[in-house]
Structure 1
Amino acid sequence: MTPDTSALRWLAACLPLALAACATTPPPSRIAAPPPAAWQAPLPHQGSLASLTQWWAQWGDPLLVDLIREAQDLSPSVAQARSRLVQAQAARSASRAALGPALDGQASASRGFNEQIGAVAGTAQAGLQAQWEIDLWGGNAAADTAARERLAGAQALWHEARVSVAAEVALQYSSLRTCLQQQEIAERDAQSRAETARLSELSERSGFTAPATHALARASAAEAVARAAQQRMQCAVELKTLVALTGRDEAALRPQLSASPAQPAPEALFTIARLPAQVLAQRPDVYQAEREVAAASADVGQAQAQRYPRLGLSGAIGAARVRTGGTTTDLSTWSIGPLALSVPLFDGGRRAAQEEAARARYDEAAALYRARVRLAVSEVEQALVRLHSSAERNDSARTAAEGYRASFAATEARWRAGMASLVELEDARRTALAAQNALTALQHERTAAWVALYRAAGGGWER
């Protein structure tokens, strides 16, 4: 069968007018959220930084690289992001399929009384049925655009999940290394105080030291033992936290940490050739928010298209075989049509409400995108400020630690010679210990600032 010729001519004459009257006008798929012209925080090393893409390898610690990889393979957030990526890929495939015709195959077989031939007959039929909704107003194309943009956003969020896990593991690894260094300092301090207490006991027995002085030495030694035990407990907690993140066996990780001594962080870990555009462009969360704006814009176009007439075309081709009384008859049929036009007349405001909801989602996506850009700028600025501050304090902290250590050594020599009191010795010891711990903590603070910059800069991901 074929559609009526006069109906086709009427539809062809009216179609241009309908297209002009019903053209969709979605909001812009890109919005302006300009970053600042320049960072207000000073750049470390005057902006001369190492490559972001090889950041973890440039750390110079193969164990850290392995732990990050294991944590990413184990992370539930990465698995969730991967699942959403697969779902987005499936949604994109479905949206692309809607742009073309659908083809179904049909087959049947029966035996019974056939009215056409007036006898009992066996009938077998097979055919193909095609249906196609002609995308007059671009609604299906808009749905495909939205799916494509959300797929790009899902890919970006997968990168963001990996960046977050890497940053978390690196920060925990640095915290554990710092704890182990402070434990070593505490152990040496406990040994030193124990030796002081031993010498003080000998001096008391010889009558050269008052009992109160020896009591002070014993109390100082006991305090150091307790501090070292507390530090060992803290390091055990840090280690177990790292094990939980990476899934590595704790018994195997302990000797690996001992065999791989802590390495000082390299002076150059990042390269950001251009600020701030490159930093914002490579942040997965900002890119995903931008893609969501484009997807929401396409959703508005799709909602608008639902309010206009819909045109569908169908067709079929089939073959049948009828057998009765030893006689076989073959038949074949085909048809194009009907060409069906569906015009929405009254739906109680449902389609208008759907368009209004789509526009509201677009406004929300645009606001979230602008907020995400502002947050990205703020996070990079804060990381740069912390880096600059730690760099300013590093030399002073190192000089202070070396000076107090030398002062303690000199005071201990004077005490052994009987020229300084135990109170002076303990005061110098406490000051040297505090300065050494402060220097170690500052090194961890600097490492944490580098990790924060890595995360704020998008982890070196480039779209």
Structure 2
Amino acid sequence: MHRALRPLAAAAALALLGACATSAGPGAPLAAGAPAVPAAWQAPVPPAAAAAQAGPSSAWWASFRAPDLPGLIDAAQAASPTLAAAAARIERARATRTAAGAAQLPQVDAVGALQSGRSLPRQPSATSASLGLQAAWEIDLFGGVAAGRDSAQARLEAAQAGWHDARTAVAAEVASSYIAYRGCLAQAAQAALDATSREETSRLTGLSAQAGFAAPADAALARAGAAQARSTAVARRAQCETLLKSLVELTALSEAELRQRLADGPAAAATVPQPAALAVQLLPAELLRRRPDLAEAELAVLAAAADRRGAEARERPQLRLSGNLAAASLRSAGVSSSGSTWSFGPLQLSLPVFDGGSSAANSAAARAEFHAAVAAYQGQLRRAVREVEAALVALDASASRQRDAEAAARDFEAALQATQARQRSGLASLFDLEDARRLALQAQSALIDLQTERAAAWITLYRALGGDFNAEAKPAVAVSAAP
């Protein structure tokens, strides 16, 4: 189904729900129409996003300036069990669509028979043979067969949209894990520097206590601070190792190969990459064309509507036409004869009279499935709007916080430089220097946390906007023929 027509079809299906509600009996759920979406985003759109020209696409990952990230995403998508299962569902849906389309065509079978025997005592034996074709065709009076084809087509397109959704989810998950790993490495470097600074303070305090210039309690407190800093540094390194193993699971690369890739790339540096801004110029209603999960839910409504039409058609008369063409031969007592036979018909009309309520129950079940699909679509649309709004809120908040964090890190670094100059001139002690160093490290650590959070928020927005989903592009998937 052409993507531009799909919202109209979904709206027609929703209208049909209201129009046909009277036949569903008392208590049938009604839908007034498609769920309303806001005319514009309520959360502030970051200026960078408003000015950006590029929307979500697979090329966006290159804007992180992390050359190893696109390769990790490609590896994860190639090895993802979720994507493999989605590809298998596409093949299943394609086979179902082929079968549903075949139901609209005449069914032709080749038949052959060979018989030999004696029908009466003291009569010569006879041998007969025949070979022919039998054809049967269900005339689609009330559209039940066409409804089956429409349902199968909608489910095929839904499976394709599901594949795109899984692909986008895998890319976002790998990118999020990668950013978390890079942020962890940066924090681990800060934790190591903090531990070194506290150990130096502990050493100086111990010497001062031995000389009688500091209380033993101060020395004990400094030692405790150094021990705590070492513990934090170890915990950071363990967290980084855990994140690395998550990337191993996602990419299916060996740990040795992944470590080599990351060691040779920018991940070895203690920095958090920041992506280019994504364009958020589309309106909430345009999410209908951008998100594969919404396309999947929308197609599920269309499939359920077709299933309902098919179930209702099966409650009505069925018309079937058959015919055959055959060549036959008979041999008895040395005499042979042969010829051909054909028939056109019968034209058979069947009308359900009594089936214990089975047909009506099937129609009621199909209507209930349709109501459920409509409700799921409405919920998915609301969820999609909420996810974009939440991502925009997170980005807006992180933008102002980042300005403050950058200013704090810059000023604390300036204070550290000034303290170092004073210490070299004899105007500040080593204690003053280490205190200033730790304040600068804490400010830098807070900035790293915010950079990690902001990069993750951009990835969340990428996912919420539908990733690089193109409704007109069909997934190029191949399913193994192994049993």
Q: Same fold (TM over 0.5)?
A: yes
Counterpart residue type for residue 406 of structure 1: A
8 Å Cα contact 1:103-1:128 kept in structure 2: yes
Q: What residue is the counterpart of 1:360 in the other structure?
A: 368
**Equivalents in 2 of 1:225, 1:417: separation in Å?**
31
Q: Does 1:34 align with 2:42?
A: no
Tell which structure's C-alpha radius of gyration is larger: 1
Q: How does 1:60-459 map to 2 (within 5 A)?
A: 60-113=65-118, 118-197=123-202, 207=211, 210=214, 212=216, 217-262=222-267, 265-266=273-274, 268-324=276-332, 327-414=335-422, 419-420=427-428, 424-459=432-467
Amino acid at match of 1:380: V
Shift of 1:269: 4.1
TM-superposed deviation, 1:240: 0.9
Aligned 8 A contact 1:293 1:365 in 2: yes
- Contact 1:41/1:381 (CA < 8 Å) preserved in 2? yes
1:235 aligned partner, one-letter code: C
Residue in structure 1 matched with residue 63 of structure 2 by the alignment: 58
Aligned partners of 1:216 and 1:447: how far apart in 2? 38
Preserved contact between residue 52 and residue 269 of structure 1 (Cα < 8 Å): no
- Return the alpha-carbon distance in structure 1 between the equivalents of residues 282 and 187 of structure 2: 38
> Gaps (5+ residues) in structure 2?
1-14, 20-30, 472-483
Q: State the shift of 1:326 in Å.
A: 5.1
Change (3 A) 1:59 1:429: closer
Q: 1:47 aligns with which of 50, 53, 61?
A: 50
Q: What amino acid does structure 1 have at the position aligned with 2:330?
A: V
Q: In structure 2, the residue corresponding to 1:106 is in which secondary structure? A: strand
CA 218–347 in structure 1, closer or farther in 2 if over 3 Å, else same: closer
* Partner SS, residue 344 of structure 2: strand
CA deviation string 1:343-380 (max 9, x = no partner): 11222322222222222221221121111111111100
Separation in 2 of the partners of 1:326 and 1:80? 64
Is the CA contact (8 Å cut-off) linking 1:280 and 1:457 kept in structure 2? no
One-letter identity of the residue aligned with 1:96: G
Structure 1 residue matching 2:56: 3-state secondary structure: coil
Structure 1 position 309, deviation (Å): 0.9
What is the one-letter code of the residue matched to 1:361? Answer: E
Shift of 1:412: 4.9
Per-residue CA deviations over 1:390-435 (Å, capped at 9, x if unaligned) read 1111121011112122323433554566644666555434432221
C-alpha spacing 1:401/1:55, structure 2 compared with 1 (3 Å): same
Deviation of residue 297 (structure 1)?
Answer: 1.4
* CA distance in 2 between partners of 1:411 and 1:208 (Å): 25
Relative to structure 1, is the Cα distance of residues 317 and 272 closer, same or farther in structure 2, using a 3 angstrom cutoff? farther
**How many Å apart are 1:102 and its aligned residue?**
0.7
SS at match of 2:130: strand
1:381 Cα deviation (Å)? 0.5
- CA separation of 1:224/1:409 partners in 2, compared to 1, >3 Å: closer, same or farther? farther
Deviates more, 1:44-53 or 1:106-115: 106-115
How far 1:457 sits from its partner (Å)? 0.7
How far apart, in 2, do the equivalents of 1:82 and 1:46 lie?
A: 34
Question: In the TM superposition, what is the alpha-carbon distance from 1:48 to its structure 2 partner?
Answer: 2.3
Amino acid at match of 1:102: Q
SS at match of 2:266: coil
Give the deviation of 1:153 after TM superposition: 1.1
Amino-acid identity (%): 47
Deviation at 1:383, TM superposition (A): 0.5
CA contact (8 A) 1:43 1:384 kept: yes
2:111/2:131 contact within 8 Å kept: yes
RMSD of the TM alignment (CA)?
A: 2.8
- Gap change, CA 1:200 and 1:413, over 3 Å in 2: farther
For residues 290 and 108 of structure 1, the distance between their equivalents in structure 2, rounded to whole angstroms, comes to 51
C-alpha separation between the residues in 2 aligned to 1:255 and 1:209? 51
Residue of structure 2 equivalent to 1:5: none
Query: SS of the residue aligned with 1:123?
Result: strand
TM-score after normalising by structure 2: 0.83
Distance 1:166 1:184 in 2: 27
Tell me, in whole angstroms, the C-alpha distance in 2 between the residues paired with 1:98 and 1:278.
37
Assess, with a 3 A threshold, how the Cα gap between structure 1 residues 244 and 180 changes in structure 2: closer, same or farther: same
Q: Distance between the aligned counterparts of 1:412 and 1:204, measured in 2?
A: 24
TM-score (norm 1): 0.86
Deviation at 1:341, TM superposition (A): 0.7
- Counterpart in 2 of 1:8? none
The secondary structure found in structure 1 opposite 2:137 is strand
Question: Matches of 1:26 and 1:125 in 2, distance apart?
Answer: 52
* SS across alignment from 1:347: coil
**1:429-456: CA deviation from partner (whole Å, max 9, x where unpaired):** 4432221111001011011101111111
Relative distance call for 1:321 and 1:269 in structure 2 (3 A) is farther
State the Cα distance separating 1:332 from its structure 2 match: 1.4
Counterpart of 1:458 in 2: which secondary structure? coil
Q: Aligned partners of 1:28 and 1:150: how far apart in 2?
A: 23
Deviations 1:180-236 (A, max 9, x none): 11111222333344445556667777x595474655554444333322222111111
| Cα distance in 2 for residues equivalent to 1:225 and 1:407 | 25
Secondary structure of the structure 1 residue equivalent to 2:111: strand
SS in 1 for 2:340: strand
Partners in 1 of 2:318 and 2:429 — Cα distance?
98
